[in-house]
Structure 1
Amino acid sequence: MTGETGGGVHGRRRTFGPVVLLGLASSGLVAFAGTRAWVDTGGATGGVNGLGQSGMATTADLGTSPLAGALGLVLLACWGVVLVTRRWFRRAVAVLATVTAVGVVATVVTAARTLPDDVAAELASTGQAVDPTLGPWLFVTGAAAVVAVLAAAAAVRLAPAWPEMGARYDAPADATEAAAVEQPRTSLDLWKALDEGHDPTR
């Protein structure tokens, strides 16, 4: 029984690298794809009255979802924190990453249903009759977000068994105190304590 338990713990420890790499890769893809245009307008552009060609100023963010890109950056930050933290705090950050990734999935689903109509309405206000279609970046973002959810959920479950950074990465004061507590006392130290009137056995 002990051997099986030890093997199971060792197996969970080995998931640290793959899960973290998967989380970082999927989060990075969400952060990038989330800033791309999710709707294909066939070259049409939105704008505001009074500027640019035909009295309109083109906008570069037509058909995009800034929220997805922002959530992707939050995901990346969460995985960075997971790398350098320990115990319950690491697990709490993994929970936050899971919730954030689910938020990206919800954003993609909502955009797939409403974004083409919103873009069509904006283009109609500029006199352009276009029937926008969903572009590939929306599906890339959605797929990456699903992978990010799975990776973060795995981190929540496996984090307690993952390796942690050693004490040498702690604050200098903490490391000095730990070294002072753990340092064994030599016979010379004991004699000095006796000479000074201290009881070295306490």
Structure 2
Amino acid sequence: MSGRRLYAPVVLGLLAVGGLTWLALGRTWASTRLAPAGLPPDTIAVSGRDVAPLAAALAVVVVTAALAVLATRGRGRLVVGLLVVVLGLGGSAVCLVSAADVDATLSSAAEQSPAFTGQDLGAVSTSPWSYVAAAGFLLATGLGAVTVRHGRSWPAMSGRYDAPSRSRVDDDPWKALDEGRDPTV
């Protein structure tokens, strides 16, 4: 696939990967049920945003980077692509490290429950959403690398609505008349 053909798939891919990662971080990563004798039972659950709030912020940056790829050109796209590569690797690492430490967050949440009496948490069930989030960040890393490689050849937004340059203003006779100058001089 040529470089120019990758433009739309990369932008749409960054939007999709950022959304998928945000979704995975909002799902339950671990849960347990506390059922002490004489007290009502309580189900304790923690999401990826509870476990890894930094990863949630990075997922928003991935979505924003897709919009930045649309709005920039040349070196700006190179910077955006490098930023996506770095934050993709960092976000993946945060998800994997936090998934290993999910028990501490679950214990902290259980201590806030009225059903917690200091007992063991019992059977803790975990979900694969932490790995989905990490995979999303790795996909963002790949899309960032494609942006670094091919971003300079992609089309840019039109400069049609940019402020006119000084030379263009001087060549416009109507503008000169509006300013009180003689355009024939």
Say yes or no: TM over 0.5.
yes
Structure 1: segments with no counterpart, 5+ residues: 1-7, 46-53, 184-191
Structure 2: segments with no counterpart, 5+ residues: 173-182
Taking a change above 3 Å as real, the CA distance of residues 176 and 26 of structure 1, as seen in their structure-2 partners, is: same
Instruction: Give SS of 1:44's match.
Output: strand
Given that 1:62 and 1:119 are in contact with CA atoms closer than 8 Å, whether structure 2 keeps it comes out as: no
Give the aligned partner of residue 156 of structure 1.
148
Q: CA deviation at 1:152?
A: 1.0
* Structure 2 counterparts to residues 136-155 of structure 1, below 5 A: 136-155=128-147
Give the aligned partner of residue 12 of structure 1.
3
Q: Counterpart of 1:138 in structure 2: which amino acid? A: S
Instruction: Give SS of 1:118's match.
Output: helix
Query: Higher RCO, 1 or 2 (CA under 8 Å, sep at least 6)?
Result: 2
Give the aligned partner of residue 157 of structure 2.
165
Aligned pair partner of 2:164 in 175, 193, 198: 175
Taking a change above 3 Å as real, the CA distance of residues 59 and 121 of structure 1, as seen in their structure-2 partners, is: closer
Q: CA deviation at 1:15?
A: 1.0
Give the aligned partner of residue 28 of structure 2.
37
CA shift digits 1:12-54 (9 cap, x unpaired): 1111011111111101111221122222x2x537xxxxxxxx5
**Distance in structure 2 (CA, Å) of the matches to 1:58 and 1:20:** 40
The reply on whether 1:82 has 2:81 as its aligned counterpart is: no
Q: What TM-score, normalized by structure 1, do the two folds share?
A: 0.67
Percent pairwise identity: 30
Count of aligned residue pairs for this structure pair: 165
Bigger helix fraction: 1
Q: Counterpart of 2:8 in structure 1: which amino acid? A: G
**Distance in structure 2 (CA, Å) of the matches to 1:157 and 1:26:** 19
Instruction: Give SS of 1:175's match.
Output: coil
Give the aligned partner of residue 27 of structure 1.
18
Instruction: Give SS of 1:86's match.
Output: coil
**Distance in structure 2 (CA, Å) of the matches to 1:124 and 1:59:** 6
**Distance in structure 1 (CA, Å) of the matches to 2:68 and 2:109:** 42
Q: CA deviation at 1:120?
A: 5.4
Given that 2:45 and 2:106 are in contact with CA atoms closer than 8 Å, whether structure 1 keeps it comes out as: no
Q: What TM-score, normalized by structure 2, do the two folds share?
A: 0.73
Larger Rg: 1
CA shift digits 1:152-179 (9 cap, x unpaired): 1111111111111111132xxx236464
Taking a change above 3 Å as real, the CA distance of residues 164 and 123 of structure 1, as seen in their structure-2 partners, is: closer
Q: Counterpart of 2:7 in structure 1: which amino acid? A: F
Give the aligned partner of residue 3 of structure 1.
none
Given that 1:38 and 1:65 are in contact with CA atoms closer than 8 Å, whether structure 2 keeps it comes out as: no
